[in-house]
Amino acid sequence: MGKYLFSLGVLLLTACQTGTSQAIETIPPKTFQEQILKVETPQLIDVRTLEEFNTNHLKKAQHIGVASANFKQKVSKLDKSQPVYVYCKKGGRSSNAAQKMKDMGFKNVYDLDGGIESIAFIPLQYLVVGKNNKFLKNKVEIH
């Protein structure tokens, strides 16, 4: 009887660990860039405030502020089976957004390590800069 209960316990533990896994992976800027360039239309989400987004953001990014009341509603329109790439300024808010997305059933969420402030490691041609951004204004074309 003891062997039976032990085997059943092992089986239950193993079953809980297998199946469809949901992953959040924090990845360095170079890997983040390589992955979003592989996809024609990546699910690239800037989770900062709209004001921050308008100051600068990565090309092809859409704004879905993690602090907004309708974050979950907007995110629910994304394809949960496809990778989603999130970023913020330094990594805190995107980590929060990634966890919320994982909890909503997204399979693969990639979080930019260091946020957009790690942009020094990403070629500037992948950045859209607002007119009021003094730091990068002279380095890239302004949109």
In degrees, rounded to 5, the angle at the alpha carbon of residue 114 between the alpha carbons of residues 127 and 102 is: 95
The Cα 45–Cα 115 span in angstroms is 12
* 88 flagged as catalytic: yes
Residue 98, helix vs strand vs coil = helix
Residue 127, helix vs strand vs coil = strand
In degrees, rounded to 5, the angle at the alpha carbon of residue 30 between the alpha carbons of residues 48 and 78 is: 45
Look at the alpha carbons of 56, 60, 65, 66 in this order and tell me if their dihedral is positive or negative.
Answer: negative
Pairing of strands 23-27, 56-58: unpaired
Longest dimension (CA), the chain: 75
Q: Looking at 47, 88, 128, 129, which residue is catalytic?
A: 88
Provide the annotated active-site residues.
Answer: 88
